Amino acid sequence: MRVQPAAGGAVRALAALLLTFAASAALAPGATAAPAASPLNARLQEGACLNSNARVSLELLIESCSTLIAAGNLSGDALATAYFNRGAAYRASGDNEHAIADYGEAIKLKPNFAAAFGNRANVYQDLEQFDRAIDDYDESLRLNPGDARQFYNRANAYRAKEMIDRAIQDYNEAVRLDPNFADAYDNRGIMYVAKGDYDRAIRDYDQAIKLRPDFADAFGNRGFAYTSKGDFDRAILDYDYALKLNPDDAIVYNNRGFAYSAKGDLDQAIEDYNQAVWHNSSYADAFANRGFAYSAKGDFDRAIIDYDEAIRLNPTDATVFQNRGIAYDNKGQQERAIKDYDQAIKLDPSDPEPLLNRCWARATWGQQVEMALADCNESLRLRPNDAGALSSRCFVKIRLHDLDGALLDCDASLKIEPQDAYALFERGVARLLMGDQGGGELDIAGSRRVDPEVEREFKGYGVVLETAPSN
């Protein structure tokens, strides 16, 4: 078939770690669970709530701080710290609403409490309220402009808002203030990939790996940068090492599969996609990419099964609808293919590709040919001078008996792609129908030389040469 599936996106998740401040008397990391206890006396309550070295459960910390706050014996910075630490415990428990309220109380009591602004910003970021998060990071950095972690966290918020240049500025500050900040180098590298600056991204990943040689995400991300550059062998080396460090990373399996697929090693690609969906059964992209690999192998039934699952998991991915349509198209089920192209166009009306594929499906089906012409016209409006669309419209015009128009479109297509077997065959058919026997035979002979299967394909569309011209 003329239509070819569009490759599914290889996705490297951004490591958007939120680094939480500790106040001078804040929740200690790695707090261990404590056994149930009788109500604590005041000294123990104060130690559990205010002592930064206390190793207590989140429940006990919340209980202790709540008791101290309710008793009314704390004031000023001590009371602010109690609210701050209880807020940290609430956030760690997943109770974001109470965490925000407690950080707000801490800030009222201590307006210059930079850590409280920073931690409240982290909660807002958890809730995807990025503008409010940035406002709090701004204030935290106004109060403490030398904190690399807050620049990093604000960069992550800008990244979430797709403000790439602004995110890079903050990552720059983070690594300027802390040259050993491996996560900041890694995330800045991701931003450079988003800008298409793969060499600068690779330099950042190099630095992240130098600082942390066991940084699995940085190896995976560098692999993705090499994939984006088309250096698939180098990418696979990085993916291999990333999986050595973290053998359960579904994203890296998916991305290595993508690299193998790009190299033409479809069996190895499928094995990696198998691993990706084994480790994450909800990984829509991996199902879509495995479907692409099966389609490239000509196993359209298995491809459709994977596309079905990808769509079930993510019903808004236009590319997967298009690729499933192509699989149906290749099975000769144009009417079913058109339904998928319809959905792809509905999801992304600015993409010329599903319009082109729907044009071709209608033309080869021999039904809705006027609509096929409208599809090709719209595809060419969105992407002018596309050789494939011109060639497809040439065939549509042959169906509509507009032979002069068909000849013009095939000429234009072949001016762009002189060795396109489809356009050569179509022009040959048009010339034969116009009575130009010599020109028609010459074009069809040229098509056969480029791809002898094209003539057989057109026979399936009902285009049979009455006189088989010789080569």
Distances 421 to 172, 332, 335, 449 between C-alpha atoms, Å: 51, 20, 25, 8
Contact assessment for residue 132 and residue 124, using Cβ atoms and an 8 Å cutoff = yes
pLDDT for the residue 57? 87
Q: What's the rounded Cα separation, in Å, for the pair 58 and 88?
A: 9
Report whether 68 contacts 82 (CB < 8 A).
yes
**What is the dihedral sign for C-alpha 189, 191, 194, 196?**
negative
* Helical (H) or strand (E) element with 349: none
Phi then psi dihedrals of residue 361, to 5 deg: -60, -45
What number does CATH give the domain 22-146? 1.25.40.10
First and final C-alpha spacing in the chain: 23
Residue among 209, 291, 220, 206 at smallest CA distance from 251: 220
The predicted pLDDT at position 193 comes to 96
pLDDT of residue 18: 39
Q: How far apart are CA 400 and CA 387, in angstroms?
A: 20
The pLDDT assigned to 55 comes to: 75
The span from the CA of 270 to the CA of 294, in Å, is 8
Which residue in 110, 109, 65, 111 sits closest to 87, CA to CA? 65
Domain boundaries, the chain: 22-146, 385-471
How does DSSP assign 258-286, residue by residue? HHHHHTT-HHHHHHHHHHHHHH-TT-HHH
Give CA–CA dist 285/273, Å, rounded.
9
- Give the total residue count for the chain: 471
- The Cα–Cα gap between 107 and 109 comes to 5
Q: Which CATH architecture has domain 385-471?
A: Alpha Horseshoe (1.25)
Spatial neighbors of 79 by CB under 8 A, at least 6 apart, are 69, 109
Q: What angle do CA 152, 155, 159 make, to 5 degrees?
A: 140
Ranges of H-type helices in 331-386:
334-347, 352-365, 369-382
Q: Which pLDDT does position 389 carry in this prediction? A: 97
Q: What is the pLDDT along the chain (471 residues), one digit of tens a residue?
A: 444 445 544 433 333 333 333 333 333 333 333 333 344 455 666 777 887 666 778 998 999 999 999 999 899 999 999 999 999 999 999 999 999 999 999 999 999 999 999 999 999 999 999 999 999 999 999 999 999 999 999 999 999 999 999 999 999 999 999 999 999 999 999 999 999 999 999 999 999 999 999 999 999 999 999 999 999 999 999 999 999 999 999 999 999 999 999 999 999 999 999 999 999 999 999 999 999 999 999 999 999 999 999 999 999 999 999 999 999 999 999 999 999 999 999 999 999 999 999 999 999 999 999 999 999 999 999 999 999 999 999 999 999 999 999 999 999 999 999 999 999 999 999 999 999 999 999 999 999 999 999 999 999 999 988 754 444
Residue 318: what pLDDT? Answer: 97
Distance of CA 125 to the CA centre of its chain: 20
| Chain CA centroid to CA 1, Å | 28
Which residues are CB-contacts of 60 (< 8 A; sequence separation ≥ 6)? Answer: 34, 37, 48
Tokens 């200690």 belong to residue: 28
The Cα-based distances of 32 to 35, 55, 67 in angstroms read 10, 6, 20
pLDDT of residue 325: 98
Identify the burial level of 450 via C-beta atoms within 10 angstroms of its C-beta, where 0-12 means exposed, 13-18 middle and 19 or more buried: middle
